[in-house]
Every structure is written in C-alpha cells, then in structure tokens.
Amino acid sequence: MAKIAEMTQLSPTMSEGKIVRWLKKSGDSVSPGEIIAEVETDKAVMEMEAFETGVILEILAQEGSLLPVGAPVAIIGKSGEDISALVETARKSIPSKKESAPSVGTVAAPSVSEKKAEARPQESISPSPQEIESEVSISASRKESKRHQGGLIKASPLAKNLALQNGIDLGEVVGSGPDGRILKRDILAFQETGGGKKGSSFVKPQDRKIELTGMRKTIATRLAHSTSTIPHFYLTLEIDAYPIDNLRNSINKDLKLEGQNKISVNDLILKACSLCLREVPEVNSSWREDHILQHGRVDIGVAVSIEGGLITPYVRDADRKSVVEISHEIKELASRARERKLKPGEYTDGTFTVSNLGMFGISSFTAVINEPEAAILAVGSLVEKAVIKDDNLVAGKTLTVTLSCDHRVVDGATGARFLSAFREFTEHPLRLLTG
C-alpha cells in the first residue's frame, strides 16, 4: 500500500527544511535507510532517508521548496498503484507559503526565464556587501526599460562615485560592460552628450527586503530566549598574553619543521578553558529547572561564522586532548561547518562555549550564553601596549576575556575562580602541555 513520505526532522532544532536536491526520481526503487534527498536545515545540508520499501511513485515537492517538518514530499508504494487519493490528500496538506511554493507532481525542470533569473547575481535575496556597494536601485519610473527590469543597475564603484559627484542618474546611462555593467567610460560618454548636471539631485537607493533563512530564524529564536530567560552577568579580565603568544610561536616553529599545521592562540585558550572546567566544575553545568546538572564530560564549543549565520561545533572531551589534537579538530569541524556538512551530534549538547572575535580586531565584547550551558567566554584580540613589569615600563601584550554567566548556576565568586584559574594557565602556559 502506497504511503506518503514526509519531511523528516533531521536535527533537534529543525522546524522546516529546504529540498536542495533529489537523489532519487519517480520510478526509482528505495528501501529503508536509503538516501533519497539532500535537505538544508537550520544548521547544515543533510541527507534524508526513506522509511519504506517500494518505488517512488510521485515527487510532491520541487527542489528549492521550503517545507515544515511533517509536510509530504513524496509517495512511495508498489509500481502501478492508484495514488490519486493520496495525491489529493497531499495537495491539501502542503502549506501555502510564499517562500516554499511547493507543487504536487514530479520535479519540473526550470524554465528558461528561471535559469536567466538564477544567472543574475544582482537579484539574489542575500547579496554580499561587495554586491550591495556595486549596485544602485533605480526609481519605479525606469522599470519599463528591459535593461532595468530587475530593479537594480550594475555599476563599477568608480562609475558609481563619478555619477554621484556629477548628479547623474544611473538609470539614464547605458552600460558597455559585461551584462550591461556601467563603467567609468560610460559616465564620461554620457556627460559628453550633455547628460547630468553637477549639483542636481541623485536617486536615493531603495530599501531592500532580505528573506529570513531557516538558520537566521533559529538563531533569532534561541538568542531571544536565552537573553529573556537567563539572568546574565559578566566578568571581565585582562591577562598578560606575552607568555601564551611566545609558547604558540615556539610550538609553531617545531610544527613547521615537521610539516604540520600551525596552532593558534585560540587553540591554547580552548585547552586552558578545558582545564579550568575541571578545576571549577560548577561552571561546567546546566540549569534544569528543578536541579543543576554538573557535567562529567568537558565538551567545548567554538563559535564559527558561516554564510547566513553562526554555528557552534563541539570539541568532545577537550580536557583529554592535546593542544595539537584540539587544533586539528577545530580546523576540521570549522571546514565542514562552512560546507554545511556537520552532523547534529557535532553541534549540539555541549557544556561550554568559546567565542573569539580577536581576528577582527575586537579588543573586548560580551557574548550571549549558548543555552542550556551556564557560561560562555568571549575572547578579544591580542593588544600590544606598554605594561609595568617589576616596576619597569616595558612593551607587552594583553588579552581581554569576558565570562558571561547564568546567575542561576554560577555565582560571582565561582565565575571569578574560573577566571583566576584561566589566568594561571595562560600566564604559565607550559601547564597546558602537561594537563
């Protein structure tokens, strides 16, 4: 008997998924556990399995469809079965959403107009900052022009600045670059024909609506819940970073001779945090409403920025691993995170998180606790400045860290003990190699 295959919940936080690619087509045989499609969740692109034995009689959702968990995506049964009733049932249960726009039936090939639309990067929903800087919105009065049907004009930064200086409406200029891109020579040619007038008004760029991705929705929900339900408090400490930076440089010299990848200060910080959590286990805990769960394991997350948001893969049993092992694991997890290939078990159920913005030149900041953990450490950049040592003013390096704590679990004195231990490990870093 034919059955409806539904959108599977592929991660604990997944509420909807987008069909990225069908790996099976109508008429293909499938069996339980066989991969039938790739689905983009709020965190990664994952594989969706079949739960029935039979033949795919109908594919109900096109590639690109965004559907809630439990929505019908296909019908699986015996070849030749009458599935008209099931198709009708599926049609009624598929939600009508602007962003999903699924349709009942086999996956259709994109039309010529759709292919052209996909080829126009200026019409993407979430353009990069570089694209935003090189594209200027035009007024509605210009939209009858075929060249301007997308509502955007592509122009080089130099052409855009020249047009702005001379009060030229880019909607009146014909571009000679690739795909009609307006170049400097086009602005100069337009001026020679009498177009534009210095000091005249310029078309103001229009607002842009950016649709929310599943990842961004999840991030918004979790952060709003964390800040509204967890009583955060913050402890900031400036440490002498000279010893830990010297140790990193020394280790990297040896690793270079061995042909291995370098370690970072963040790798050493992660190791220091793992040992601090062993010394101050109260911080390695979670609030459970009627009790506090103090974790026996030390699983530390590293906040990784990826396209569309942020994800936190975890280094499991970090306290039992060497700095080099931690470094290799972080690099591997971060790489797969950016490819959206992490498994749910790799970015859930941790005990502590480190967020480092030092590579962006941020000297200090506060981070939002990654619920249900009890704390998160925000790490700033290494700052070179004059410091006092042995009553002398000398050149030094400092690092500022801020511990965000859940006050239901961690008291001020407990958080201070954690940071005190952190100072000891980082200012005497050889202990990180033997701990």
pLDDT digits (tens, 9 = 90+) for 343-368: 989 999 999 999 999 999 999 999 99
**pLDDT score of 115:** 37
**CA 213, CA 118: separation in Å to the nearest integer?**
18
Delineate the domains of the chain, giving CATH numbers in brackets: 3-93 (2.40.50.100), 127-192 (4.10.320.10), 214-434 (3.30.559.10)
**Minimum mean pLDDT among 46-55, 80-89, 131-140, 381-390: which range?**
131-140
pTM, to two decimals:
0.64
What burial letters (b/e) apply to 403-421, b meaning 16+ CB within 10 Å? bbbbeebbeeebbbbbbeb
**pLDDT score of 36:** 92
Nearest CA to 341 out of 33, 39, 32 is that of 39
To the query of whether residue 295 is one of the catalytic residues in this protein, the response is no
| Rounded mean pLDDT, 281-309 | 95
Which helix H or strand E contains 29, and what residues bound it? strand 29-30
Read off the pLDDT of residues 45-59 as tens digits, 9 standing for 90 and up: 888 888 889 999 889
Give me the chain's average pLDDT, please. Answer: 83
Q: Is the pLDDT of residue 187 over 70?
A: yes
Q: Are the C-beta atoms of 399 and 422 separated by less than 8 Å?
A: no
Q: Is the pLDDT of residue 107 over 90?
A: no
Residue 170, both tokens: 């880019």
**pLDDT score of 196:** 58
Read off the pLDDT of residues 402-426 as tens digits, 9 standing for 90 and up: 999 999 999 999 999 999 999 999 9
Nearest CA to 97 out of 64, 59, 65 is that of 65
Of 232, 328, 407, 428, catalytic: 407
Write the single-letter amino acid at 365. F
Confidence of residue 173 (pLDDT cuts 50, 70, 90): confident
Nearest CA to 347 out of 298, 300, 292, 277 is that of 300
Q: Is the pLDDT of residue 261 over 80?
A: yes
Structure-model confidence comparison of residues 420 and 192, the more confident one:
420
Q: Are the C-beta atoms of 39 and 46 separated by less than 8 Å?
A: yes
**CA 390, CA 377: separation in Å to the nearest integer?**
30
Helix axes 323-338, 242-257, angle to 10 degrees: 80
**pLDDT score of 13:** 75
**pLDDT score of 108:** 35
**pLDDT score of 224:** 94
Residue 400 CA to chain centroid, in angstroms?
25
Nearest CA to 186 out of 196, 173, 195, 199 is that of 173
Phi, psi at residue 381, to the nearest 5°?
-90, 160
Work out the percent of the chain whose per-residue pLDDT is above 70. Answer: 84
